[in-house]
Amino acid sequence: MNPKFTKKLAIKSIILIGSIAFFSLFPKNPQTTSSNSIAQIPPFDNFPPKFLKPRKPQIQPSPAATPSPKPPEQPLVFAPPAQFRSQIVYKASISNSKVIALTFDDGPSPETLKILEVLQKHNAVATFFCLGRNLREYPEIAKKVVQAGNAIGNHTWHHYYHDVTEKIASNEIDYTGIHIHRSTGAKSLLFRPPGGRLNNGFADYAKKKNYVVVMWSIDTKDFLQPPAAVITRTVLSQATSGAIVLLHDGGGDRQQTVEAVSEIIPKLKQQGYRFVTVPQLLQMQAAQKQPNGDRKPK
């Protein structure tokens, strides 16, 4: 056999066998390849940045409902009806009810607490005309006066009797009004002149500032510290509907007054009286129908 032919045949055989071996490495049908071939690829430990799993959306909590604004609290004001502003009052004209107003001057003081205890025991209220200097010393007692349902009024700062200028009257009354508000949170347009004096400048200034000047129709003169029985007899003998009674809870020991009030309240209640504050008393008069008030003239 020709050596050249033999060499060419061997080369062709090697090429043919190599080609067959090469193509045998590929599957005949790629679509039928087992999925196990993919499983051999090791998974990524960490996803590349562009293929990170999206974070679960965080659900934000619903905002708390905005509470409805509370209506502003109305300041407590002890004031008479408009018709009594800048007027002097000694008693009220009440014909359709038996009511009476107890008033106490010159406090607050430790004696005031004793009066409050009696009032609360008998479910009664009163009006306290306070001195500014005592309000500054006993603000908590003044606060208890108002918290117990009583009214509070202005009795000047120092309790001067002598004539005063308008400037002094302004200082005495206005600063007392400030301390009424500081100690109780209330404002008052009730004024009682020291000693009941109407011509020394205080009453004129109070009327100019729209206060009602509250006097009295029954004077117990308890500032002289008479026996409790005398104070009691004075009130019981003069009691009428709409009366305003003058008593004291300051200026010293008021034990006789405390004892008298303990007798006065239950005895007048037995007669059908109710105890009200001065603003309530004046409101009752204002609300009371006047004779012929609803009638048309003929």
pLDDT digit string, tens, across residues 13-54: 666 665 555 555 555 544 444 444 444 444 544 444 444 455
Give me the catalytic one of 105, 106, 222, 249: 105
pLDDT number for residue 288: 87
Q: Which amino acid is at 174?
A: D
Active site residue 105: yes
Active site residue 122: no
Does 44 map to a domain? no
Q: By residue range, what is the domain housing residue 262?
A: 77-287
Does 141 map to a domain? yes
Does 247 map to a domain? yes
User: Predicted confidence band at 297 (pLDDT cuts at 50, 70, 90)?
Assistant: very low
In whole angstroms, what is the distance from residue 131 CA to residue 184 CA? 14
Q: Provide the number of structural domains found in the chain.
A: 1
Does 36 map to a domain? no
Query: In whole numbers, what is the pLDDT of the chain averaged over residues?
Result: 85
Does 47 map to a domain? no
Does 37 map to a domain? no
pLDDT digit string, tens, across residues 184-211: 999 999 999 999 999 999 999 999 999 9
Give me the catalytic one of 159, 222, 248, 249: 248
CATH number at residue 148: 3.20.20.370
In whole angstroms, what is the distance from residue 128 CA to residue 145 CA? 8
Does 48 map to a domain? no
pTM attached to this predicted model: 0.74
More confident residue, 68 or 214: 214
User: Predicted confidence band at 9 (pLDDT cuts at 50, 70, 90)?
Assistant: low
Q: What percent of the chain has pLDDT over 90?
A: 70
Does 180 map to a domain? yes
